[in-house]
């Protein structure tokens, strides 16, 4: 494999998004006196994931994200809350969450010695910068593309066109997309003519309509694949 550029997804590929989301949700709900249990956390995750799927396909405007996800959560459980305040509290807490998946920093430090690393992430710029800026992980990367700043979401061609245009000398044939999401990372990479590696720690089944170039279940397999 003669790859020059590795295009890494951030959340749940390198960053522990689930941990960050959990801490921030508990903080935002508790601030308004709303008791939190595992069922509520799981339900919020389901609601939020469904909305992000719609954002990926252009069916939903990200500007309404906070209002809708917390409104749906409150309707589901029958509590009253200040949706705007809850959204602000959630964002403020998320900005401070810098949890990495175990082994992510070591992996990227090793890969950066051989490859040029770029981060490609769907998300709110304020939150992603807050979680990454000033961290050792970001030192491993030559650049970062955040969907809100790019003006397009993965898996759109527009997003990957912006990535290609923003990397000096970029060639799709010499790049590899690495991410946990089939619908955004892998589908987007395939549409852009870039090889893909599905990071699949849960060992989920892959649907017939999408075929990653590679699949790995942990960082050890990824290291082996990339010969580091």
Select which of 9, 11, 180, 195 is catalytic: 9
Buried b (16+ CB within 10 A) or exposed e, 137-173: bbebbeebbbbbebebbbbbeebbebbbeebeebeee
pLDDT in the model for residue 156: 95
Q: Which residues contact 170 (CB under 8 A, 6 or more apart)?
A: 5, 163, 164
Domain 5-16+100-225 CATH class label: alpha beta
Q: What's this model's pTM, rounded to 2 decimal places?
A: 0.92
pLDDT in the model for residue 161: 98
Domain 5-16+100-225 matches domain 17-94 at the CATH topology level:
no
Would you mind telling me the total number of residues written for the chain in this entry?
228
pLDDT in the model for residue 53: 87
Domain 17-94 CATH class label: mainly alpha
Spans of all domains in the chain: 5-16+100-225, 17-94
Give the residue ranges of the chain where pLDDT is below 70.
Answer: none
Is 208 annotated as catalytic? no
Count of CA atoms in the C-beta half-sphere (13 A) of 209: 4
Q: CA 107, CA 137: separation in Å to the nearest integer?
A: 10
pLDDT in the model for residue 18: 92
pLDDT in the model for residue 22: 94
pLDDT in the model for residue 58: 85
pLDDT in the model for residue 56: 85
CB 145, CB 119: distance < 8 Å: yes
């Amino acid at each position: 494999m003669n790859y020059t550029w590795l295009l890494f997804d951030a959340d749940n590929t390198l960053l522990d998004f689930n941990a960050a989301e959990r801490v921030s949700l508990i903080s935002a709900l508790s601030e308004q006196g709303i008791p939190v249990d595992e069922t509520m956390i799981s339900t919020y995750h389901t609601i939020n994931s469904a909305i992000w799927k719609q954002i990926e396909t252009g069916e939903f405007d990200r500007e309404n994200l906070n209002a809708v996800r917390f409104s749906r959560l409150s309707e589901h459980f029958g509590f009253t809350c200040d949706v705007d305040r809850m959204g602000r509290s959630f964002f403020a807490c998320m900005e401070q969450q810098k949890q990495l998946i175990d082994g992510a920093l070591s992996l990227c430090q090793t890969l950066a010695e051989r490859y040029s690393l770029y981060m490609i992430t769907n998300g709110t710029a304020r939150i992603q910068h807050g979680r990454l800026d000033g961290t050792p992980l970001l030192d491993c990367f030559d650049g970062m593309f955040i969907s809100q700043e790019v003006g397009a979401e993965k898996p759109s061609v527009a997003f990957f066109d912006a990535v290609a245009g923003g990397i000096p000398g970029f060639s799709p044939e010499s790049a590899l997309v690495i991410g946990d999401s089939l619908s955004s990372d892998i589908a987007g990479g395939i549409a852009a003519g870039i090889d893909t590696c599905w990071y699949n720690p849960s060992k989920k089944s892959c649907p017939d309509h999408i075929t990653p170039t590679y699949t790995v279940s942990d960082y050890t397999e990824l290291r082996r694949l990339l010969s580091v």
